[in-house]
Structure 1
Amino acid sequence: MATPTASVQLYTLAKEFTADMGGSLDKLAAIGLTRVEAFDFVGRAPALRQALDASGLSAPTGHAPLLSDTLWTPDGEIPTPAPEVVFEAAATAGIHTVIDPFVPAERWATREGVDDIAARLNAASEVAKTFGLEVGYHNHAQEFVATIDGRTAYEYAISQLDASVKLELDLFWALVGDQDVVELTRGLGDRLLAVHVKDGIKLPNPWAPGGGDFASTALDQRHAGTAEVPLADALRANDAIELAVIEYDNAPGDVFADIAASYSFLIEQGLAR
């Protein structure tokens, strides 16, 4: 199999990264990582690029909203940046693939909603090409609730996407969505650019009917290879995967030690380099 490169989603260490960008990146480099996945980069792209360069790291992928008109913040909804603004910032930071990280569950509930998501991804991809970039989508579990034409809303959306649109499969959330994670990984073929390497104890899909409220702080997430997600089999199921991106929504202990443990699993199992 082709060996993906290990990375880490910087949201995992959001508090530490915001407090000390350079120091946090230096700690990741000391673990052995050479790649990271950016978040919230639009307003700090030059500083991010400078810190990455200083630490000897790069961010081939980054998360930013592309498919929603507004973005939730603790102070209320605000308009999302125009795609051109996002892509200009991505280019400044050295990001090649901009990945939308979340579309609310209600938009995945109907054919019309999913058609709109796919159309927006295709349109964003065309704009990204003018910057020499590409776009992708990162799932949670709401994409696997509705069924359209005998397929999950996620699979239906993929059937509507241009071949240039990439996917980043969050393996933990796909399991929470009651998917056969290994078969899903295999079936996504060449458009599967990256996976989120995340392990933990499966919970009922919080976006399914009767799923109830949940908080990320209540998630029982553990070091890669120690819980219920078939990470190794999934990574071996698709040779197109270029990036194995470590992420915790709720790190169980010291975040840098937790990242190091998952990185060691990937390297020792020959699942990433």
Structure 2
Amino acid sequence: MVHRRNFIKQTGLALVACSIAPSFSFSTKEKLAIGIQLYSLRETIADNPMEILKKLANVGFNEIETYGYNDGKFWGISIAELKEELTKNNLISPSGHYDGNSLIKGDFENFKEIISVANQLGQEYIIIPSIEENLRESKSDYQNIAEKFNQAGEMCKSAGITLAYHNHAFEFEKMDDTTGYDILLNNTDEDLVTFEMDIYWVVRAGINPISLFEKYPGRFKLWHVKDMHKEDPELNTEIGNGSIDYKEIFKSAEISGVEHYILEQENFEMPDFKSLNESYNYITRLL
């Protein structure tokens, strides 16, 4: 039997716990896991990648999404050097963007190297960031892409990694009664292929991201959080200052299946780190 005094004490502790719990049913680690796609700083990162990583950690980011792997290096530094610098700044890299056009053409040799690189960095996701235009001209092209993604997904799974695809707006162009994006979602194995939704590009295509979450629940393990300039939709701005209703979108986080929130901004109207700090603070408030 629970005595009245203990019951009151336990109830009070439960109420306190509820009052400080995050609005979603995420753990503290997940709540604080906010990343940035380094492409946001493509104009400066090659000059001093070590300093850029240190400054990002100081803002509060703890996850880094890579891009730009070429000839064994990222921005002139080796994989081992990058890994060391991430560790030094208490950063991890759960995901990276890597070219996937070769595997779509049926050449998987380069992809084996990509898997090795991702494993060395401890990445959980290999993300295909885009598709060459000549490879996506028809529904059958997209069906071929889905087939190749499944094959690559099998290779990733064997290495303890998950394949993901990052959208732009072209995937939403109508092809009879469907779109390229629908073809990819409907023809890839959800156990092998997930999706990184770039919310800006979905909105730019005239689609409500929430409608996709509801249509394909659990398929979007990563988000690119990027806002649209109110006066010029071709430009980005700080999260919360643009025309995308992120407060409403974040309410549907659970149904989307999202595990990683990744800030990306492709242009700046103020100093880049001032802008990133504003966006980071806004996202933390939403979480």
TM-score for the superposition, normalised by structure 2: 0.80
Higher-helix-fraction structure: 2
The Cα shift of 1:220 comes to: 2.0
1:108-153 Cα distance to aligned partner (Å, 9 max, x none): 33111101111111111111122211110000000001335x2322
CA separation of 1:153 and 1:35: change in aligned 2, threshold 3 A: same
4+ runs of 1 displaced by more than 4 Å?
Answer: none
Q: What percent of counterpart residues are identical?
A: 23
The equivalent of 2:238 in structure 1 is 223
Could you say which residue in structure 1 is the equivalent of 2:82? Answer: 48
Give the corresponding residue for 2:173: 145
Quote how far apart the aligned CAs of 1:47 are. Answer: 2.1
Bigger RCO of structures 1 and 2 (CA < 8 A, at least 6 apart): 1
- The amino acid that maps onto 1:58 is I
Q: Secondary structure at the match of 1:17?
A: coil
Structure 2 partner of 1:25: 53
Following TM superposition, by how much is the alpha carbon of 1:37 offset from its aligned partner in structure 2, in angstroms? 0.7
- Residue 188 of structure 2 corresponds to 161
For 2:244 and 2:53, locate their aligned partners in 1 and report how far apart those are by CA, in whole Å.
Answer: 27
Question: Corresponding residue for 1:104?
Answer: 132
Matches within 5 A, 1:193-204: 193-201=221-229
1:181 aligns with 2:209: yes
- Whether the 8 Å CA contact 2:103–2:148 is kept in 1: the answer is no
Give the SS at the match of 1:37: strand
Summarize the Cα distance change of 1:47–1:161 in structure 2 as closer, same or farther, 3 Å threshold: same
Aligned residue type for 1:266: I
5+ residue gaps, structure 1, are 72-78, 205-217
Once the two structures are TM-superposed, the CA of residue 80 in structure 1 deviates from its matched residue by: 9.1
Write the letter of the residue equivalent to 1:262: S
Structure 1 letter corresponding to 2:125: T
Q: State the TM-score, normalized to the length of structure 1.
A: 0.84
Distance 1:225 1:188, change over 3 A: farther
User: Tell me, which stretches of 5 or more residues in structure 2 are unaligned?
Assistant: 1-23, 74-78
- Contact 1:197–1:245 (8 Å) recurs in 2: yes
For the pair 1:266 / 2:283, whether they are aligned, the reply is yes
Deviations 1:71-121 (A, max 9, x none): 9xxxxxxx9961110000111112110000011344333111101111111
Q: Which moved more, 1:34-43 or 1:56-65?
A: 34-43
1:233-272 counterparts in 2 under 5 A? 233-239=248-254, 240-270=257-287
Deviations 1:6-59 (A, max 9, x none): 110011012322111221111111111111111123522222211111111001
RMSD: 2.4
CA distance in 2, matches of 1:255, 1:94: 28
Aligned to 1:192: 220
Separation in structure 2 between the aligned mates of residue 202 and residue 119 of structure 1, nearest angstrom = 38
Relative to structure 1, the CA distance from residue 200 to residue 97 in structure 2 (aligned partners, 3 Å threshold; closer, same or farther) is: same
Letter in 2 for 1:185: F
SS state at 1:234 partner: helix
Aligned pair count reads 249
Structure whose alpha-carbon radius of gyration is higher: 2
